[in-house]
Amino acid sequence: MNRPNQRPRGQSDDLLNPPGMNFFILALYLNGLFGFRGVLFHLGVSASLRAISQIYGVLIMGALIAGFILQVRGSRKPSDQRSVWFWRTTWWWLTICGLLGVWGILRQNGASLVAKEWMLLTSIGLMAYGFADRGMARVLIRHLTIIFYLTLPFVLFYYDIPGVIITAEGSYADMNLDVGYRFLDTVGYSMRFLLAPGILLGAVSVVAANQSKVWRIAQFASFLIYFLLEIAVFKFRGAVVGFGILLISLLLLRAVFQRGQIQAMGAKGYLLIFAVLVPLVWAYTQTTSWIELRDRFYGESQKGGVFESRIEEATALFSELRQNILIGRGLGGGFDITGIIDMPGAREWSTVHFGLLVFLLKGGVLFLVSFLFYIAPGVRRRSQVWYHEPLNIAAIMLLPYAVFTFSFNPFALSHDFIIVYASSAFMFGRFGCADSPQESMGMFRRQ
């Protein structure tokens, strides 16, 4: 038995308390608190939404940068398992994000929009570097689980309560709108991004990464709850496809890569999952929500297809980027889609529904290739040693879903949604771990 002040056998101080870990945890909880800003109005608190956004943005990025600096300083040891490729990719990503921010300012894209997009894109690189540390990844996953379940009751309570708008003075005001059958203009919807880690938690729960049964059950339940809300309440068509892709990935890829390991889920686990899912799916098909979601698919198809407007959007992007295809229009840059939709901001539309194209818009081919550097290690065969880490298996299982979302869903380029991309950062970080100690940054520095 270990003494109270004695570390468990086989675990180093770096694994138990990685450098910079507390700052990464602080950043997650700050982003979580930021998601509750819409609740303030309904509690009678009148405050400037813009001021809150700016303050929280600075605090979140400050915490992530501080944690990253401590990670870099503390990982200058032979035990650092990050690959040389990942180390170089991280620094290149942070550099190009900064350069594109400067390019956006020079093009007068708007300082506020440039800052928001820089924070979001930079945070992906910072969090990926943290998730590459095994001890850091395990701790952050547990805190993401806590944030999920702290947020869930508020989303369920406020999902049908009208949201808020920003007055000219930057304060809250009630929308007083019909929330509609999808509840997109509600306080609960504005908080749903805090439930996005359910995607990551589902993958981790299946591989049983040195966790107790209680944590595993809670994390897999968060995966089901997240998609249940996305499909049944907010009626996102992409969530239906995404859920199917991710569920198949979790079950099949885990069976392939974790075959024969003691921690692997057995036949009873599969039967339990299907015993829960089949009645849920059948019950949902008997509801009005299912009819409304089905009508979204059929109604859109009768108007010309689900992808017609997205193809028109992409065509408009390429027609305007002919002269900037290599370097894009910088962070904060947009393009004109007034011929496609009639909405405020259509003349300077700042995102693309085909998600990967947003990198062409912001930084051209150079930025798109830089982003693919993060994915590249995940599509090649790794050594057997690399597959022995359960967290790496979880990253592999997330890849098919990530490819789908990167391809067909827009990127939310705002620091509000840093926690949304925790799953992507986790995946990039685990892909960045070396195949063997001989290929790691630790060995590279020693040599």
Concatenating the DSSP letter of every residue in 405-435 gives: HHHHS----SGGGGGGGHHHHHHHHHHTB-S
User: Which residue is listed with tokens 């907010």?
Assistant: 234
Q: What is the Cα 73 distance to its own chain's centre?
A: 26
Of 419, 359, 83, which is closest to residue 226 (Cα–Cα)? Answer: 419
pLDDT at 207: 83
Q: Where are the beta strands (DSSP E) in 158-231?
A: 164-166, 172-174
Among 131, 86, 93, 20, which Cα is nearest to 442's? Answer: 86
Instruction: State both tokens at 176.
Output: 């007083």
Each as own residue / partner, the long-range contacts of residues 299-307 (CB below 8 Å, 24 or more positions apart, any chain) are 300/237, 306/237
328: alpha, beta or left? (left if phi > 0; alpha if psi -120 to 50): left
For 189, the enclosing helix (H) or strand (E) is helix 187-191
CA 421, chain centre distance (Å): 2
Q: Are 107 and 117 in contact (CB under 8 A)?
A: no
Asked if 338 and 310 touch (Cβ cutoff 8 Å), the reply is: no
Pick from 221, 222, 214, 219: nearest CA to 204: 219
The alpha carbons of the chain give a radius of gyration, in whole angstroms, of 22
Exposure string (b/e) for 65-83, b if CB count within 10 Å is 16 or more?
A: bbbbebbbebbeeeebbbb
Backbone angles phi, psi at 20, to 5 degrees: 80, 0
Amino acid at 345: G
Q: Pairing mode, if any, of strands 172-174 and 164-166? A: antiparallel
Global pTM value: 0.87
Contact predicate 157/42, CB 8 Å? no
| Secondary structure (3-state) at 19 | coil
Provide φ and ψ at 83, rounded to 5°.
-80, 160
**What pLDDT sits at residue 269?**
63
- Other Cβ atoms within 10 Å of 33 Cβ, number: 15
pLDDT by 10s per residue, the chain, length 447:
444 444 433 344 445 578 889 999 999 999 988 888 778 777 766 666 667 777 888 899 999 999 999 988 876 565 567 888 888 899 999 999 999 999 999 998 888 889 989 999 999 999 999 999 888 999 999 999 999 999 999 999 988 888 765 544 444 444 455 677 888 888 888 889 999 999 999 999 888 656 788 888 899 899 999 999 999 899 888 888 889 898 888 877 776 665 544 344 555 666 777 777 788 888 888 888 888 888 877 765 445 556 777 888 888 888 888 878 888 899 988 888 877 777 767 778 888 888 899 999 999 999 999 999 888 888 888 888 888 888 998 999 999 999 999 988 888 887 778 899 999 999 999 998 887 666 665 555 555
| Residue in 303, 408, 414, 324 with CA at minimum distance from that of residue 35 | 414
